[in-house]
């Protein structure tokens, strides 16, 4: 105990009243608020009453304790009674005239409460309350001591005591009333905010709908226009061809050159129009995947023939690696060829000397086939590597080499349609390797194991319509589907249920997909669970890095039934390969 301020004997009910009064005054001297004064006075009076009625009297002592920074008012009430079992004294909050009820109340009123009692040793209760800081009224211990002594000599007229207690009661009631009013006001404010949020959501829905409609219109317009472009371009090409074939007479060397340029320019324009048209079709969901079984070797032979005309630079060798050891692939051969043609044409365009090597390898564990097109060309700076797959962006160095800038975005979309993905590894001045990763068998559903547990997919997306679509795709693929409407709920469900696979959105309330993915990776039991990200966000490089532990990232607009089923199947197959 620190500086003793004052102590009072406790013998009668009048002493209890006096103890309460002194407690309140000392609390006031210490700078406590009126409410805190009342709390302390009440706690002291409860404990003192116990000492008088159960302990046969005793003493209450007030003291200051602790350093300057953390001073507290300490009050010790000790009796010499029979003592009791603390368990019994404080055990429950049951109402009634038990010894304990007053103590339980007192314990709620102060910062610190210590009960020390045993049968035959009396009872000692210590109450303590931290002095208010920064009140500017922190009195010195000695000042308090002398003030307390003055208090002790003062009278304790019962009427004054009652009046004082009445004042305290009125103040408490007034404070309570203020709080109720404040709570009601906060409630109203919250309700208003809620209404605002609801309105905002419906406005957002409306805006999203308008955007969808505008995007559809753009796609329709693009598709219509590109068709209109094709007819005259085809005519220009056919007519130049007639001239170049000397159908109606000889051309001199300059004329032949000019007509050849006309033909080439028209062909370039037609290529651009065709790429645009393909992109517009994929965007509009009008492209179907038509899988057939074919040998990679045959595809390479066909590609070699088709790409001959592009090999105009004798300094560059186009090499196809042997692919005869690979199993047959079940995929849309035309689309695979289209992607590889694009990769190879790009590689040839950006390689001045060296070689362009086309190969394929089986990733048996994941049941995926990986096509690679490797060049020794100018390479791509790291900050551009993901951008080149986004529509309508053109990396600085790209333009002078020709090409439409639409080929790679188209490749990405075609790959996604087939349940695969494209990526690139590159080093400036050293070369680039483009990869097309495809499931070995398009649309193959998860292998159903006899008697084995059903594979379980957790779907985390706040967009109900998307969950609906995905649930059907996944259930048709033989999966059990669990749904969560935001990241936090998804995390809780993942921890509880341990799904085999997670499909999630990025933009979600409460916890976004980036954080959810991070949290899953931190959980040792979920760190290897494949996660497929389905998002309508356009991701920058930084964001893609943040998602590097995802199994795949699929733009929502590219989600097609068969493609997603294939992706889910290959994710589950990868799981089976590395249990």
Number of neighbours of residue 235 by Cβ within 10 angstroms: 11
The C-alpha atoms of residue 87 and residue 85 are separated, in whole angstroms, by 5
Candidates 167, 212, 241, 264: give the one binding other proteins (CB under 8 A).
241
CB 15 within 8 A of CB 9: yes
Percentages (nearest 5) of helix, strand, coil residues in the chain: 50, 20, 30
Is residue 338 close enough to count as binding other proteins by CB under 8 A? no
Per CB under 8 A, does 418 bind other proteins? no
Interaction pattern, residues 198-227, with other proteins; x per rule: CB under 8 A: -----------------------------x
Give me the phi and psi of 139, to 5 degrees please: -85, 155
Interaction between residue 235 and other proteins (CB under 8 A): yes
Q: What is the pattern of x (binds other proteins, CB under 8 A) and - over residues 261-280?
A: ---------x----------
CB of 360 to other proteins, least distance (A): 26
Is 305 one of the binding residues for other proteins (CB under 8 A)? no
Q: Which is closer to other proteins, CB of 286 or CB of 472?
A: 286
User: How do beta strands 112-118 and 72-79 pair?
Assistant: unpaired
Of the candidates 118, 111, 115, 139, the residue with the CA atom closest to the CA atom of residue 126: 115
Contact with other proteins (CB under 8 A): which of 33, 234, 353, 393? 234
Q: How far is the CB of 473 from other proteins (least distance, A)?
A: 23
In the complex with other proteins, the residue whose CB is nearer, 69 or 228, is: 228
Tell me the H-state helices in 386-463: 407-417
For tokens 């200051």, the residue is 64
The least distance separating other proteins from the CB of residue 498, rounded to whole angstroms, comes to: 43
Give the shortest CB-406-to-other proteins separation in angstroms.
18
Cα–chain-centroid distance for residue 273?
39
Per-residue exposure over 141-159, b if at least 16 CB sit within 10 Å of its own CB, e if not? eeebbebbeebeeeebeee
Residue 366 as a binder of other proteins (CB under 8 A): the answer is: no
Helix or strand run (H / E) with residue 374: strand 368-375
Q: Does the footprint of other proteins cover residue 250 (CB under 8 A)?
A: no
Pick the stretch among 58-66, 238-246, 376-384, 500-508 that binds other proteins (CB under 8 A): 238-246
The answer to whether residue 192 forms part of the interface with other proteins (CB under 8 A) is no
- Which of helix, strand or coil describes residue 445? coil
The residue from 238, 292, 319, 577 that contacts other proteins (CB under 8 A) is: 238
Half-sphere exposure of 23 (CA within 13 A, CB side): 31
- For 472-511, letters b (16+ CB in 10 Å) and e give ebbeebbbebbbbbbbbbbbebbeeeebbbbbbbbebeeb
For the four alpha carbons of 384, 387, 391 and 392, in that order, the dihedral sign comes to negative
Task: Pick the binder of other proteins from 239, 251, 361, 469 (CB under 8 A).
Answer: 239
Please, are residues 131 and 71 in contact by the beta-carbon 8 Å criterion?
yes
Closer Cβ to other proteins, 239 or 302, answer by number? 239
Closest distance of CB 248 from other proteins, Å: 8
Closest distance of CB 221 from other proteins, Å? 16
Output 69 or 245, the one with its CB closest to other proteins. Answer: 245
Residue closer to other proteins (CB basis): 245 or 496: 245
| Residue from 26, 128, 144, 237 in contact with other proteins (CB under 8 A) | 237
What is the end-to-end Cα distance of the chain in Å, rounded?
A: 64
Residues touching other proteins: how many (CB under 8 A)? 16
Question: Is 94:74 a contact under the CB 8 Å cutoff?
Answer: no
Between 512 and 551, how does the x/- string for binding to other proteins read (CB under 8 A)? ----------------------------------------
Residues that bind other proteins (CB under 8 A): 227, 230-232, 234-235, 237-239, 241-242, 245, 247-248, 270, 288
């Amino acid at each position: 105990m620190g500086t003793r301020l004052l102590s009072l004997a406790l013998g009668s009910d009048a002493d209890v009243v006096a103890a309460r009064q002194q407690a309140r005054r000392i609390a006031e001297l210490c700078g406590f608020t009126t409410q805190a004064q009342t709390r302390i006075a009440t706690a002291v009076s409860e404990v003192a009453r116990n000492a008088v009625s159960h302990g046969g009297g005793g003493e209450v002592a007030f003291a200051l304790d602790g350093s300057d920074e953390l001073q507290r008012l300490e009050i010790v009430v000790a009796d010499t009674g029979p003592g009791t079992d603390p368990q019994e004294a404080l055990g429950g909050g049951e109402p009634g005239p038990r010894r304990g009820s007053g103590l339980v109340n007192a314990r709620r009123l102060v910062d610190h409460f210590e009960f020390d009692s045993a049968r035959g040793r009396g009872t000692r209760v210590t109450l303590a309350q931290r002095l208010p800081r920064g009140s500017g009224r922190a009195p010195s211990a000695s000042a308090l001591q002398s003030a307390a002594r003055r208090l002790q000599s003062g009278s304790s007229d019962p009427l004054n005591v009652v009046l004082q207690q009445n004042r305290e009661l009125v103040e408490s009631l007034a404070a309570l009333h203020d709080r109720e009013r404040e709570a009601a006001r906060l409630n109203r404010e919250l309700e208003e905010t809620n209404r605002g949020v609801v309105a905002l959501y419906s406005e957002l829905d409306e805006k999203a709908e308008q955007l969808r409609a505008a995007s559809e219109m753009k796609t329709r317009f693009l598709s219509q226009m590109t068709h209109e472009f094709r007819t005259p371009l085809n005519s220009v090409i056919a007519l130049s061809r007639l001239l170049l074939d000397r159908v109606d007479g000889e051309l001199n060397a300059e004329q032949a050159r000019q007509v050849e340029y006309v033909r080439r320019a028209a062909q370039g324009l037609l290529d651009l129009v065709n790429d645009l048209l393909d992109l517009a079709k994929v965007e509009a969901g009008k492209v179907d995947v038509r899988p057939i079984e074919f040998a990679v070797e045959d595809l390479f032979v066909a590609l070699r023939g088709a790409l001959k005309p592009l090999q105009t630079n004798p300094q560059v060798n186009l090499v196809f690696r042997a692919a005869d050891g690979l199993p047959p692939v079940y995929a849309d051969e035309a689309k695979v060829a289209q992607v590889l043609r694009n990769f190879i044409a790009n590689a040839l365009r950006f390689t001045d000397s060296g070689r362009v090597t086309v190969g394929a390898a089986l990733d048996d564990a994941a049941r995926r086939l990986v096509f690679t097109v490797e060049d020794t060309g100018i390479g791509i700076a790291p900050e551009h590597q993901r951008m080149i797959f986004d529509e309508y962006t053109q990396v600085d160095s790209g333009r002078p080499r020709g090409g439409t800038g639409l080929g790679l975005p188209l490749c990405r979309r075609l790959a996604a349609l087939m349940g695969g993905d494209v990526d690139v590894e590159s080093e400036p001045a050293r070369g680039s390797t483009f990869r097309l990763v495809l499931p070995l068998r398009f649309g193959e559903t998860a292998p159903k194991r006899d008697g084995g547990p059903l594979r379980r997919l957790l779907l985390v997306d706040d967009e109900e319509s998307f969950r609906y679509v995905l649930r059907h795709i996944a259930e048709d693929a033989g999966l059990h589907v669990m749904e969560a409407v935001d990241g936090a709920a998804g995390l809780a469900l993942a921890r509880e249920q341990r799904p085999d696979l997670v499909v999630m959105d990025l933009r979600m309330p409460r916890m976004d997909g980036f954080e959810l993915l991070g949290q899953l990776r931190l959980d040792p039991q979920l760190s290897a669970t494949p996660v497929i990200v389905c998002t309508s966000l356009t991701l920058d490089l930084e964001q893609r890095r943040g998602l590097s532990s995802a199994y795949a990232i699929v733009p929502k607009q590219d989600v097609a039934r068969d493609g997603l089923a294939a992706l889910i199947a290959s994710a589950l197959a990868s799981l089976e390969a590395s249990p």
